[in-house]
Chains A and B, each alone.
Chain A
């Protein structure tokens, strides 16, 4: 879902940039200085995990889980991760960074707000599954909205994107549920917001 430079129209890029700036700004204001290291290390953990490919050349996003763990701090964390991916691996462009941040961060924060009340206790595997799955659904929806706002010709691209992410939705939901099952016993503090 990393959109490169030169694809979206200027109004879409500007809108995405402004929305991302608002989210990152608010996330930075909510982020306390003494939590900086924890957020940075968790961001690094997510970054490393997204680089690992499952069989079938599938790679996970896990931004639903990130939203649960980090809350609004997920916004600057996602922006950092996407900026590093753009600079180090050329995944996504510079002018489209704002749009890419919106695609990943708003669903993460939304899923965090909705599902944290369940996931901070044991036994809510279904909620964890839906947290992972709905985060991907919302990201695909957001990406499609940005593409279609650049022109109605993107209808084929948006449809192809949605189709290719259907298996990812299921896998992401399952993996999120399994990770939750592990972490709620080993490190329940991870599900308290930063």
Chain B
């Protein structure tokens, strides 16, 4: 399984990153605003500028842990798929560079794939830095403060708590299968064995849910856990929020200006 520790990837990194002490709600707002602003860029120059700015943010949040680069590698696997498949077109055009077996490779599409790669890395690196440096509990409390429906917040918390327990159950079941001589070689028999093991995970989950539900109802559970967090009504925090949000808006406006100018230049040429 990809992550043994079920917390955002940079949370357990070195403690002196300035982002770790910042308010999770503010970081989520900045990350979402930045992502929403950047996803509209469509010219190479603007995408490159966005990537450069995100790179500066990453370097400024030193020390950058190794885990950050490993996670960016995972993000780029999808972009590798895009770079390999987007240039494949089924109709010839003025931008076709090669053709074989009815498939035409388009350099315009390849350029578009590179723009997506730059944008995706620009957005992904900032989102990873901002959201990944708070614990999941802090992020969920932040969602609650940002007026996300309580039921949804509860569902995230309860799911997160139970994932670790069910991973251990699944690990025990698979270990038991291995001890009984199960070797996973691709066949219908292997699929049956996996299906039975998955079925047992569901059965254990359902049995647990029945017991826990009954216990909670008997203790007066009415559907909502009150989330305890400090009410942060400090002027210093408010000023930092405003500064971060205004700074993000300023960067987005600058990138849109670069986009507009480079589109105008391309049209002129």
Binding site for B on A (CB under 8 A): 2-8, 10, 13, 24-25, 28, 31-34, 36-45, 47-49, 51-52, 54-56, 60, 62, 76-77, 79-81, 83-84, 87-91, 93-95, 151, 153-157, 159-161, 171, 174-175, 177-179, 181-183, 186-187, 189-190
In whole angstroms, how far apart are the Cα atoms of A190 and B152 in the complex? 22
- Is B205 in contact with A44, judged by CB distance below 8 angstroms? yes
Residue of A nearest to B120 (CB): A6
B22 at the interface (CB under 8 A from A): no
In whole angstroms, how far apart are the Cα atoms of A85 and B184 in the complex? 26
In whole angstroms, how far apart are the Cα atoms of A49 and B103 in the complex? 38
- Is B223 in contact with A33, judged by CB distance below 8 angstroms? yes
| Number of inter-chain CB pairs below 8 Å | 246
Binding site for A on B (CB under 8 A): 1-3, 6-9, 31-32, 35-36, 38-40, 71, 74-75, 78-79, 81-82, 84-90, 103, 106, 108-109, 112, 116, 118-120, 122-124, 127-128, 131-132, 136, 139, 149, 151-152, 154-156, 158-163, 165-167, 170, 174, 184-186, 188, 190-192, 194-196, 198-203, 205-210, 212-213, 216-217, 221-224
Q: Per DSSP, are chain B's interface residues mostly helix, strand or loop, or mixed?
A: helix
Residue of A nearest to B132 (CB): A87
Nearest CB on B from A152, distance (A): 9
Nearest CB on A from B7, distance (A): 7
In whole angstroms, how far apart are the Cα atoms of A77 and B108 in the complex? 39
- Is A28 in contact with B119, judged by CB distance below 8 angstroms? no
In whole angstroms, how far apart are the Cα atoms of A25 and B158 in the complex? 18
Chain B residues with CB under 8 Å of A79's CB are: 152
Chain A residues with CB under 8 Å of B212's CB are: 37, 41
Chain B residues with CB under 8 Å of A43's CB are: 155, 159
In whole angstroms, how far apart are the Cα atoms of A40 and B154 in the complex? 9
- Is B120 in contact with A7, judged by CB distance below 8 angstroms? yes
- Is B188 in contact with A5, judged by CB distance below 8 angstroms? no
Of the listed residues A13, A84, A151, A177, the one surrounded by the most CB atoms of chain B closer than 10 A to its CB is: A84
Chain A residues with CB under 8 Å of B196's CB are: 178-179, 182
- Is A84 in contact with B156, judged by CB distance below 8 angstroms? yes
- Known A-B contacts A37-B212, A38-B209, A48-B167; the reply to A55 vs B190 at CB < 8 A is yes
Q: Per DSSP, are chain A's interface residues mostly helix, strand or loop, or mixed?
A: helix
- Is A179 in contact with B198, judged by CB distance below 8 angstroms? yes
Chain A residues with CB under 8 Å of B7's CB are: 88
Specify which of B123, B158, B203 is in contact with A6 (CB 8 Å cutoff): B123
Chain A residues with CB under 8 Å of B161's CB are: 40
- Is A80 in contact with B152, judged by CB distance below 8 angstroms? yes
Nearest CB on B from A106, distance (A): 18
Going nearest first, the 5 A-B pairs with the smallest beta carbon separation are: A33-B223, A156-B88, A178-B195, A6-B119, A40-B158
Residue of B nearest to A89 (CB): B2
- Is B209 in contact with A156, judged by CB distance below 8 angstroms? no
- Known A-B contacts A55-B185, A87-B8; the reply to A47 vs B163 at CB < 8 A is yes
Chain A residues with CB under 8 Å of B38's CB are: 5-6
- Is A95 in contact with B35, judged by CB distance below 8 angstroms? yes
Of the listed residues A5, A55, A84, the one surrounded by the most CB atoms of chain B closer than 10 A to its CB is: A5
- Is B86 in contact with A156, judged by CB distance below 8 angstroms? yes
- Is A4 in contact with B136, judged by CB distance below 8 angstroms? no
In whole angstroms, how far apart are the Cα atoms of A37 and B209 in the complex? 6
- Known A-B contacts A76-B152, A88-B6, A93-B35; the reply to A51 vs B1 at CB < 8 A is yes
Nearest CB on A from B100, distance (A): 13
In whole angstroms, how far apart are the Cα atoms of A90 and B217 in the complex? 36
Specify which of B40, B74, B127, B163 is in contact with A48 (CB 8 Å cutoff): B163
